[in-house]
Structure 1
Amino acid sequence: MSTLDVLYTPAQIGRLTLKNRFVQSPMHTKFATEFGEVSEKLTDYLVARAKGGVSLIILENTAIDWKVGRAAGNPVRIDDDLFIAGLSDLTEAIHREGVLIATQLHHAGRQNPRSNTVDGLGPVAPSAITSSAIGDEPRALEVSEIKQIVQQFRDAARRSVAAGFDLIDIHGSHGYLLTQFLSPQSNHRTDEYGGSFDNRARFPLEVVRAIRDEVGPDFPLSYRISLEERVEGGMEAEEGIAFCKLIEPYVDVFNVTAATYESMDSVFMMQGREPAELLPLAARVKAVVSKPVIGVSRLGWALDTSARAIESGALDFVALARTQLTDANLVFKIKNGESGRVRRCIGCNECVGGFLFRGWRVHCVMNPELGYEREAAQGLTPQAKSKRVLVVGGGPAGFEAARAAALRGHDVRLVEASARIGGQVLTAAAVDYKRREMEAYVTFMEKELEHVGVRVQVNAPFDFSTSAEGADVVVVATGGYAPAAPEGTIDAMHALRSGELPPGRVTILGSNEIALNAAAFAAQQGRETVVITNEGGVGYDMNPILAAHTVGILERLGVRFVSTDPGDSGIRLSSPDWAADSRAPFAEIPADAEVLVVGARAKGGRLYAATQSGFWTGIGI
């Protein structure tokens, strides 16, 4: 048996037999309708993941209370019998792929803004204490309302069974309502639902008991718990373990994670954090309960570690979350020995911080097919007539265009002026804490182009007058440009590409993502490094979660942020914003070739714009 074979062995959760150890974690997508109904988009997305090889999919947070308890925007809802029909359509679609599916019963509690409640009712919580991360001041629940919420959970469990779900996951983690009652930080009640551990545990225990009573003794139940909150005054692991032991008679599996939105770095683990960091918490639960345990924390990057944990008895199931957004087929690719072809999550958290937080549906900067599975499948149908396609530039946009065109049956050649494809992804690989993710992304590009039959030429500067001869279509993906570095400075991108810096202290002029990469590059060499911020703020072109996370890493590396230029002597790196590069003409391309311009060359933008532009242009050829 190879190291990873244990991940592909069957295992039990109650009466259920799971075909392997892979579980897709619940992730909010906003793919449901605005009314909270199951949509074709949601179904297509989940069916693609079912085809990818996981044994169990846990549906995203499923609202038991649409008025004040739903997650931001439009999650799936289960607060009325009206929604059983759509939910049953979904379970049937997943079952046709031989995969099990769970609903996740959820109430947001105080982690909810008033604007996301019906008629401005406002959020509710055990106590009128506002979350420092999300939401407005909540109203403390009356005891009679607590009893009503218990009934809402019970009714939602009945509907889950009626809709054909195989398992119910109770959302008691990440700072939502059940967590809020357990937490001494957010529960300051003085009645029977607050104070001592037993009192704080009373409401979530009542929910678990009510659900078990509703569904009977054999229906599988899971409880997702943040074993420790990682906030000042919050619940510690010892009480988390005590709660697991308290509810053990009623549940069939423990889904172990950590943190709340006030300790977000441990909810959305990002670049610079070690994969499998939370597995010791899962192991602590496993050591004291007789039921199986699901672990999480970027485990798509730590399958060896996960397999060893299963073999040692410290873990039973591996939860995959954002990596499932990035590559729906990870499970099958790993099983088939194609780990290099896995498109691995780079931990940028653009899916949440860059899209969901600003009201969009979920997207992935690396996977342009996410949320458009049906349209992508139709677009990738091989064409009756093969064309000769030349792609100029091997960054993400050029890669996606070449891959899509090849999958449509065209004869594709990609030329890249440098020694390796990857474009600006390679410059980010100069940063130590990003290197693993960036190198894996470039390896994926290389392996995938080989797999789909694209002929790649590196060290091949493009000559428009000769290189395009014989091409029916020329895709220009040569990237954007930055204004010349001011006199006396070095372009930050040039420093990252070359991997070299002259000796001395380093001053970074600018505070966009490239500037922060350059600061990390200098600091990791032990250089005294200062970033001069501009009016946009630090990391202004990044999502706020990634920006804050990056600043934290840089500060730990000793980087200082100042608003005015100290004028010190030393090395000065400039990092202006890049723009679309429409300067070079295409007049010398043969007149009979169709010319398509993609990525930053066409209209600027960051990684998401590049991959989207390249892919959707490619499937139009």
Structure 2
Amino acid sequence: MITDLPRHAGTPAPHPASEPTASESGAPTFPALGRPGAIGDLQIRNRVVKSPQATATANQDGSVTARTVDHYRRLGEGGIGLVMVEYSYVDDDASKAIHNQIGISRREHVAGLGWLADVVRSTGAKVGIQIAHGGRQKFLGTPPMKSASGSSWSEAEAVEGHRPVPMTTEEIHQLVQDFGAAAARAHDARFDLVEVHAGHGYLITNFLSPHTNDRTDEYGGSFENRARILLEIVDEIRQRVPWDFPLSVRLSVVDYEPDGITIDETVRLARLLQEHGVDVIHASGGHHALMEWEVSPWFMPRALHKWGWEQIRDAVDIPVIASGSLVSPEVAEEILAADSADFVSLGRAMLADPDWTAKALGGRRAEITPCIRCNDGCLHRGLNAGRSSGCSVNPNLNEERSFPLELTDRPAEIAVVGGGIAGMRSAALLYDRGHRVTLFEPDRLGGALRFTRQWTSKTDLRALVDHLESEVTRRGILVLPVRAGLDDLAGFDEIVLATGAPDRVAKVEIAGDASPTSPTLVSPTDITGDTVVIGGGFSGCDCALRIARECPNAKVTLVEQHEDLLSGDEVFTDAIALPGLLSQADVRVRTATRALSVAADHVIVETPNGSERLPAQTVVIAAGRAPAGDDFADALRTRGQAVTVIGSADRPGRVFDAIHSAYFAGRRL
């Protein structure tokens, strides 16, 4: 299901309660996704496009590596119609934005790019490449940093303290030539398409948006002036490459800044681009200073730019590619079936499962490993940390040849104890390697994340839980509804403990008539009236937000003893956005406030001004998780059994840690 958003939407719309089914037979089909399509004269086998996303797998000089080629080969093998290679810098002056970015600025880059293009095309997919200039979003932070004007993005400025300088007219003219030369190199490398990145806050957007363009010359001021550089680039490219070589432009429908790009200007621009020879508009939205609109996390709606790309599509006669948290085949199919767009573009979903397309079109919907939109592996622990991009749910990302799963030559009887994320992933992996697996779980599969099935705002995470449960079920793995004890595990060759981590005991006095709950146990049906959530880390903030959004009769107060919320190692998009979302949801946030005691109908807190009584019909204690004890594992080892501890039972963490722990431990057994 897709929810339309107004221009410059404020509070995101809620998620759908569940994914719609595509057929009554239980075997989803997605006919619109599977239809062949065309961009100009380029014939494409289906309507699925892999969005360009930085991988940081190139050499420092911008040349592609075997890792780069393996990554894109794997995407092509997954059945995608058009694979768009990540943004590539066009000059050796200021356009390189990120470490280990692909370059297309010199003739020396063409040989490697040609290798990459040929390999992807050999899979049956078409392949394009995006060309770009980083502008003020130069993540490297190194000089020179050049933009339309001196408007700075604080994150880039903070790296080394440098601010962007306005480009001179001569530099603009040279850059136009550089884009044209880069497009010609893409053609020489035998790519099927080239795309100019004119969205997401990079250089061209710096010119398009009044928010970042205060120039007074012919490249600033009016819409016509701000659009001039892009139109000159398009004209230059059209002079440098054959007319049957498709040209795409990626636009942000808006940048979501109050004084920024408007949808009316974007529609006008799209018409002009068509007149100047552009073959397709690739529509997404936002920029890095408003990351939640560009790489929208779990708390944002899916297909959040639909309201904008539809206005573009109504105004032009060329195809429009829709982009922005499409995530699932159901959402993508709905867009195409409704003629909302001509193609659908997915990024993180393809990182999570490069076989997304083949599984969707092959009647294997339940086998798709879903993107949970956490931004943890790809960005927080990946590119933001100076590494190559990774993925919380796909440990093989950008290491496609490094960690294969191989059949064991010594099949063993293995017990997996605990049916949470780590346990289910481990059980399926060990089964695939040829072991005989028994999974012990006294409750329904899902572990600590069972709660996601009750909350509509946890759609993405619930999809992962349901997928992993389906993977266990379709393999026929024996699941015993038993809390495994020492006697139950006698006779197994190997034991994998995935029993999770207990909730940390809060330093709060709890009266005998009180019954506080935890973020993973609280249900929407439990919530009545005044609700106090104790703990302002991610778990507490997430819990307070979903209660406020989904329980209309609740009045939520969030209590945190420190001065700030989310003061731990939180994923950056969560840390940036959650405080504002809590405010929008009317959650009363009390920082520098320590909970002292919990009673049946109230909580006593200590504030800088003294103690205070907060009314509370429901109390949720979000104190985090404590390290699990080693007693059970030690007892098993003492009697001579081989034990491997994974997931939060080994070390409390996030989904990334659970999946990666299960995967790499499973390869060793």
Alignment partner, residue 264 of structure 1: 291
Cα deviation for residue 554 of structure 1 reads: 2.4
Letter of the 2:149 partner, please give it: S
1:461 pairs, out of 472, 483, 486, with: 483
Cα deviation for residue 290 of structure 1 reads: 1.5
Alignment partner, residue 484 of structure 1: 505
2:652 pairs, out of 604, 610, 614, with: 604
Secondary structure (helix, strand or coil) at the match of 2:636 reads coil
Letter of the 1:131 partner, please give it: W
Cα deviation for residue 213 of structure 1 reads: 0.9
Question: How many residues get paired?
Answer: 610
Q: Is residue 417 of structure 1 aligned with residue 438 of structure 2?
A: no
Structure 1 distance, partners of 2:262, 2:105, is 32
Secondary structure (helix, strand or coil) at the match of 1:59 reads strand
1:9-28 correspondence runs (5 A) = 9-28=35-54
Secondary structure (helix, strand or coil) at the match of 2:131 reads strand
Structure 2 distance, partners of 1:247, 1:522, is 45
2:149 pairs, out of 112, 127, 146, with: 127
Runs of 4+ residues over 6 Å off in structure 1? 489-493
Letter of the 1:278 partner, please give it: H
Structure 2 distance, partners of 1:47, 1:247, is 31
Instruction: Identify the range of structure 1 (226-235 vs 103-112) with the bigger mean alpha-carbon deviation.
Output: 226-235
Q: Is residue 397 of structure 1 aligned with residue 418 of structure 2?
A: no
Residues 70 and 495 from structure 1, CA distance in 2 versus in 1: closer, same or farther, beyond 3 angstroms?
A: closer
1:578-589 correspondence runs (5 A) = 578-589=625-636
Cα deviation for residue 492 of structure 1 reads: 7.2
Structure 2 distance, partners of 1:204, 1:215, is 17
Structure 2 distance, partners of 1:508, 1:278, is 33
1:78-227 correspondence runs (5 A) = 78-112=104-138, 115-117=140-142, 121-131=143-153, 134-135=156-157, 136-227=162-253
The runs of 5 or more residues in structure 2 that have no matched partner are 1-21, 24-28, 594-604, 606-611
Letter of the 2:463 partner, please give it: A
Residues 291 and 502 from structure 1, CA distance in 2 versus in 1: closer, same or farther, beyond 3 angstroms?
A: closer
Structure 2 distance, partners of 1:202, 1:587, is 70
Whether contact under 8 Å (1:400, 1:618) holds in the other structure is no
Alignment partner, residue 35 of structure 1: 61
Structure 1 distance, partners of 2:515, 2:73, is 46
Describe the superposition over 1:394-443 as per-residue Cα deviations: whole angstroms up to 9, x where unpaired: 1122122222211111111111122x111222234444411x22321111
Q: Is residue 386 of structure 1 aligned with residue 411 of structure 2?
A: yes
Structure 2 distance, partners of 1:619, 1:493, is 37
Structure 2 distance, partners of 1:355, 1:426, is 28
Describe the superposition over 1:117-174 as per-residue Cα deviations: whole angstroms up to 9, x where unpaired: 3xxx231011112135644421111111111111111121121112221110110001
Letter of the 1:579 partner, please give it: A
Letter of the 1:481 partner, please give it: P
Identity %: 29
Structure 1 distance, partners of 2:503, 2:436, is 33
Residues 33 and 588 from structure 1, CA distance in 2 versus in 1: closer, same or farther, beyond 3 angstroms?
A: same
2:591 pairs, out of 539, 552, 563, with: 563
Residues 427 and 134 from structure 1, CA distance in 2 versus in 1: closer, same or farther, beyond 3 angstroms?
A: farther
Letter of the 2:465 partner, please give it: V
Whether contact under 8 Å (1:193, 1:203) holds in the other structure is yes
The runs of 5 or more residues in structure 1 that have no matched partner are none
Structure 2 distance, partners of 1:328, 1:492, is 43
Whether contact under 8 Å (1:325, 1:364) holds in the other structure is yes
Residues 107 and 491 from structure 1, CA distance in 2 versus in 1: closer, same or farther, beyond 3 angstroms?
A: farther
Structure 1 distance, partners of 2:305, 2:54, is 21
Describe the superposition over 1:25-62 as per-residue Cα deviations: whole angstroms up to 9, x where unpaired: 01112122333221222222222211111111111111
Alignment partner, residue 469 of structure 2: 446
Whether contact under 8 Å (2:417, 2:498) holds in the other structure is yes
Instruction: Identify the range of structure 1 (27-36 vs 173-182) with the bigger mean alpha-carbon deviation.
Output: 27-36
Structure 1 distance, partners of 2:577, 2:209, is 25
Describe the superposition over 1:104-123 as per-residue Cα deviations: whole angstroms up to 9, x where unpaired: 0010111125x533xxx231
Structure 1 distance, partners of 2:484, 2:370, is 30
Residues 10 and 181 from structure 1, CA distance in 2 versus in 1: closer, same or farther, beyond 3 angstroms?
A: same
Whether contact under 8 Å (1:519, 1:529) holds in the other structure is yes
Alignment partner, residue 494 of structure 1: 518
Residues 493 and 24 from structure 1, CA distance in 2 versus in 1: closer, same or farther, beyond 3 angstroms?
A: farther
Whether contact under 8 Å (1:579, 1:605) holds in the other structure is no
TM-score normalised per structure 1: 0.93
Residues 502 and 20 from structure 1, CA distance in 2 versus in 1: closer, same or farther, beyond 3 angstroms?
A: closer
Residues 414 and 299 from structure 1, CA distance in 2 versus in 1: closer, same or farther, beyond 3 angstroms?
A: same
Whether contact under 8 Å (2:449, 2:520) holds in the other structure is no
Q: Is residue 520 of structure 1 aligned with residue 568 of structure 2?
A: no
Cα deviation for residue 475 of structure 1 reads: 0.5
Structure 2 distance, partners of 1:314, 1:515, is 38
Structure 2 distance, partners of 1:365, 1:256, is 26
TM-score normalised per structure 2: 0.86
Secondary structure (helix, strand or coil) at the match of 1:76 reads coil
Cα deviation for residue 471 of structure 1 reads: 1.3
Secondary structure (helix, strand or coil) at the match of 1:589 reads helix
Letter of the 1:88 partner, please give it: G
Q: Is residue 298 of structure 1 aligned with residue 325 of structure 2?
A: yes
Alignment partner, residue 624 of structure 2: 577
Alignment partner, residue 426 of structure 1: 450
Secondary structure (helix, strand or coil) at the match of 2:396 reads coil
1:594 pairs, out of 642, 646, 655, with: 642
Whether contact under 8 Å (1:252, 1:291) holds in the other structure is yes
Describe the superposition over 1:545-587 as per-residue Cα deviations: whole angstroms up to 9, x where unpaired: 1233333332222212122334324444332232331342335
Structure 2 distance, partners of 1:229, 1:190, is 22
